[in-house]
Chains A and B, each alone.
Chain A
């Protein structure tokens, strides 16, 4: 598939179909089944289960130490699992060394081989697969063209910017037409503008090639922007997995609500299928929630600033281009962030009222004191 794409874009001569190293194929299905990984007493992966469908881009999102990079590394074979299995297209690859798993990987730190030019870096994987000279160079040039760096074939890593180096690393990972593409926070070392441009480029290429991709990131914007599905990790296992919109609008827990987008954590009660907080009665995302004290997660955009509602004092207000966020301290001492129109410009110390729009909320029960 990738090669078809490369051919289409660069009018390369068709390759010999008999060569197994260059045969185009669709993305593979990947399945983690109860994977456990311990590091010196610390459980990095706790019965980790995840399925990647062929051609899908799944972002693994989570705070530092949640085990997302470990999950990617065990799939790559760079770490051995302590229990569970990893299947690619239904075949357990646990016993296969990294070099035989047929994966492409882009690392967080710049990983181009410094002694080789950009073109030779891209050729490396093909050389390992014993692809002959002329075809190897043509495919490397085509892969570099795919990431817009065909003019940089002879440049060395130290002659390229960070963004260019990661593009070459992406070309290097893709040129062998791997079954799965692994991206280990590939954009985290880049500045904001380059990061946004490159993540869109990654998404474009991934969609065009249809390659199954696991994208590890701690940046929620990045995950929501590029992924077909986002899997949020916490303490070594998946907390929730779903489409970006689903995660944002229907978070399974206050942790997800807090981690994916901004949210206010307020103390309230559940009574007869509704959350009651600061005098408001809000529908629940999970109506089966039992009555009792709970932590209620409310998005800043689900609050309104005005004269009505819960009274409070403006603590700060910040401008974010198309919107403004204002922090208000309520009479009970709790603070919450309200997102509103930029034309409304509250100043510090203003007496304001906060009302709820009535959007459904997720709640987390507060254990009763023993």
Chain B
């Protein structure tokens, strides 16, 4: 009897190599081009590290110091946005899921809405709000995190809701309550650990969106990484590209750290050994 070949669930090595190679190229080409651009020696031709060494030997002084300040602003904004997401969105989603399931459609509509509004239109609406906010709470860069909280809403909502749908939140919370846990303990000890993946994915996206956002910051006259890079690029395009590369590396490392947090003790990869008993 002829042997039956197992159904292939994963692509073969050449196919995998081709797919990964193609995707890698899409990402690598612009980055390699940026690096090549920063190494050019100008009209004389050839390549060297003079622009990189000049930047680092100068210690980010002069106009480049603004970039460091702007980077600090952006990181602070990212943290603020993530905090707003965690403190506002996660409890609200849980409340709707557990107590007011009929509001879910409305919640989804409200959360998805910002993705359909162009940033420029959003700013037109936000400008009068921010003029009031400036009188009440000042016009510090941190106030941008409110606007960013709105812009990351669709992405964060999707990530957390997907996780929420995959966990029997109602039964877990009821089990915890019958075991003597108050709502605070239910949230901290049971729900958040089980929604960690969704929350981290939401935080991941929030950080990425905030670090890459330009339109709202520029139109509301706040200094962030993206707006400061634009200013530098007008004076020195080579240094602007170097700073962009550094920002890219920083964002990559930051997201890597956040991603690592999600891998802490899940126990999910252990082999299953239990049978029905």
A residues at B contact (CB < 8 Å) = 76-78, 97-105, 107, 109, 111, 113-115, 117, 124-125, 128-129, 152, 155-156, 158-164, 169, 172-173, 176, 182, 190-191, 193-194
Interface flags, B100-116, vs A, CB<8A=1, else 0: 00000000000000000
A128 with B179, Cβ < 8 A, contacts A161-B276, A164-B277 known: yes
Known: A109-B168, A158-B272. A76 touches B175 (CB 8 A): no
Taking A124-B176, A156-B268 as given, write out 19 further A-B residue pairs in contact, using a Cβ cutoff of 8 Å, ordered by the A residue number.
Answer: A78-B178, A99-B178, A101-B178, A107-B175, A111-B174, A114-B194, A117-B267, A124-B189, A125-B179, A128-B179, A155-B274, A158-B268, A162-B276, A163-B277, A164-B277, A169-B175, A176-B180, A191-B276, A194-B276
Task: Please tell me which one of the listed residues A98, A99, A113, A190 contacts residue B172 in the complex, with CB atoms under 8 A apart.
Answer: A113
Interface status of B193 (Cβ within 8 A of chain A): yes
Contacts of A98 in B (CB 8 A): 174, 177-178
Q: Give A184 Cβ to nearest chain B Cβ, in Å.
A: 10
Contacts of A125 in B (CB 8 A): 179-180
Report the nearest A residue to B182, measured CB to CB. Answer: A99
Q: Is B10 an interface residue (CB 8 A)?
A: no
Question: Closest 9 CB pairs between A and B?
Answer: A128-B180, A125-B179, A105-B178, A98-B177, A111-B175, A115-B193, A161-B274, A160-B274, A156-B267
Given known contacts A99-B181, A161-B277, A105 and B270 CB-to-CB distance under 8 angstroms: no
CB neighbours (8 Å) of A193 from chain B are: 276
- In whole angstroms, what is the CA distance A109 to B275 when docked? 18
Report, as a range, how many residues of chain B touch the other chain.
20 to 34
Task: Choose one: B176, B266, B275; the contact of A113 (CB below 8 Å).
Answer: B176
Q: Does B185 contact A (CB under 8 A)?
A: yes
Contact assessment for B172 and A111 in the assembled complex, using a CB-CB cutoff below 8 Å: yes
In the complex, which residue of chain B has the Cβ closest to the Cβ of A194?
B276
Given contacts A111-B171, A156-B267, contact A124 B274 (CB under 8 A): no
B 36-61 to A, binary, CB cutoff 8 A, 1 in contact else 0 = 00000000000000000000000000
Chain B binding surface, main DSSP class: loop
A161 touches B275 (CB 8 A): yes
Q: Do A78 and B179 form a contact, CB below 8 Å, given A161-B275, A163-B277? A: no
Closest to A125 in B: B179
- Interface flags for B243-277 (1: CB within 8 Å of A; 0: not) read 00000000000000000000000111011111111
Residue B190 is within 8 A (CB to CB) of chain A in the complex:
yes
Centre residue among B171, B174, B175, B270 by max chain A CB count within 10 A:
B175
What are 8 A-B pairs at a CB distance below 8 A?
A99-B179, A104-B179, A117-B267, A124-B176, A129-B180, A158-B272, A161-B276, A173-B179
Report A-chain residues with C-beta under 8 Å of the C-beta of B276: 161-163, 190-191, 193-194
A176 and B273 CA atoms in complex are apart in Å by 28
Among residues of B, the one whose C-beta sits closest to the C-beta of A78 is: B174
What are the interface flags for B110-150 relative to A under an 8 Å C-beta threshold, 1 for contact and 0 otherwise? 00000000000000000000000000000000000000000
* Nearest-neighbor residue (CB-CB) of A117 within chain B: B267
Complex: how many Å from CA A155 to CA B271? Answer: 10
Kindly list chain B residues whose C-beta atoms are within 8 Å of the C-beta of A152: 274
Chain B: minimal CB distance from A120 (Å):
10
Give the complex CA separation of A156 and B189 in angstroms: 16
B102 vs chain A, min Cβ distance (A): 11
Q: Is the CB of A156 within 8 A of B270?
A: yes
Q: In the complex, A294 Cα to B74 Cα: how many Å?
A: 82
Roughly how many angstroms separate A229 CA and B189 CA in the complex, as a whole number?
38
Chain A proximity of B191: nearest CB distance (Å): 10
A125, B267: Cα distance in complex, Å: 21
Distance in Å: Cβ of A262 to nearest Cβ of chain B: 29
Task: Write out the residue numbers on chain B whose beta carbons fall within 8 Å of the beta carbon of A100.
Answer: 180
What are the residues of chain A within 8 A of B171 when measuring CB–CB?
107, 109, 111
Q: Give Cα distance in the complex from A104 to B97, angstroms.
A: 24
Interface residues of B in 172-206 (CB under 8 A from A): 172, 174-182, 185, 189-190, 193-194, 196
- Which residue from B167, B175, B271, B275 sits with its C-beta under 8 Å from A105? B175
CA distance A129 to B167 in the complex (A): 26
With the chains together, A190 CA to B277 CA distance in Å?
A: 10
Instruction: For B180, list chain A residues within 8 Å (CB).
Output: 99-100, 102, 125, 128-129, 176
Q: A72 to nearest B CB, angstroms?
A: 11
Given the contacts A111-B171, A113-B194, A114-B194, A103 and B178 also touching, CB distance less than 8 Å: yes
Max chain A Cβ within 10 angstroms of own Cβ: one of B171, B196, B267, B277 = B277
- Are A164 and B168 in contact, CB atoms less than 8 angstroms apart? no
In the assembly, what is the distance between CA of A135 and CA of B276, in Å? 31
- Give min CB distance, B242 to chain A, whole Å: 43
